[in-house]
């Protein structure tokens, strides 16, 4: 099963993709997410913490391909929810940026979801709703930065 989402953002593609790769951005638009991008070792992790500082969610994947401003492809992504005993995965994620006149088309392809099992069905539903919520947050963050002159 694959989720497919897209959004137009009034920023250049390098800025759009960088917003997923560095904590200085993700902390501001992605509910406090900390990002650990280790390009030489081909790994990326996103962490969300509870108010007390304990890790609530951890997403970790292998960078299959990365081209600044064009795409980031992750494979072997595992999601750890510290309220549950077992992680879920692996899935894959492709973030593609297509430069257009004065803006970027961001396409998200999140794939590898299994169906027919309650844990996977809940995970797919949460990820689907999550992208619907978070992509407008990304757009607002980046476009607000544009009007702030950053």
Q: Which residues contact 46 (CB under 8 A, 6 or more apart)?
A: 26, 30, 33, 34, 35, 36, 57, 58, 59, 60
Query: What CA–CA distance (Å, rounded) separates 41 from 111?
Result: 23
What pLDDT is attached to residue 137?
A: 97
The domain locations on the chain are 2-147
What pLDDT is attached to residue 90?
A: 97
What pLDDT is attached to residue 126?
A: 93
What pLDDT is attached to residue 98?
A: 96
Query: What CA–CA distance (Å, rounded) separates 93 from 143?
Result: 24
What pLDDT is attached to residue 146?
A: 61
What pLDDT is attached to residue 65?
A: 96
Q: Is 99 exposed, middle or buried (0-12, 13-18, 19+ CB in 10 A)?
A: middle
Q: Is residue 91 a contact partner of residue 110, using CB atoms and an 8 Å limit?
A: yes
Chain centre to alpha carbon of residue 2: 15
Query: What CA–CA distance (Å, rounded) separates 55 from 78?
Result: 15
Neighbours of 34 (CB within 10 A): 16
Q: What CATH number belongs to 2-147? A: 3.30.530.20
Grouped pLDDT means (10 residues each) for the chain, 150 residues: 96 96 96 94 94 89 95 96 87 96 96 92 94 97 75
Structure tokens at 123: 């995970």
């Amino acid at each position: 099963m694959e989720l497919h989402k897209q959004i137009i953002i009034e920023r250049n593609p390098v800025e759009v993709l960088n917003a997923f790769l560095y904590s200085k951005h993700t902390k501001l638009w992605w509910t406090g997410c900390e990002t650990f991008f280790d390009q030489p070792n081909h790994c990326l992790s996103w962490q969300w913490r509870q108010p007390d500082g304990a890790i609530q969610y951890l997403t970790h994947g292998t960078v299959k391909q990365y081209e600044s401003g064009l795409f980031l492809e992750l494979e072997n992504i595992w999601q750890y929810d510290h309220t549950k005993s077992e992680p879920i995965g692996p899935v894959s994620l492709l973030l593609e940026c297509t430069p257009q006149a004065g803006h970027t088309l961001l396409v998200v392809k999140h794939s590898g979801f299994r169906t027919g099992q309650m844990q996977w069905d809940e995970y797919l539903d949460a990820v689907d709703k999550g992208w619907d919520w978070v992509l407008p947050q990304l757009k607002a963050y980046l476009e607000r930065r544009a009007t702030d002159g950053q």
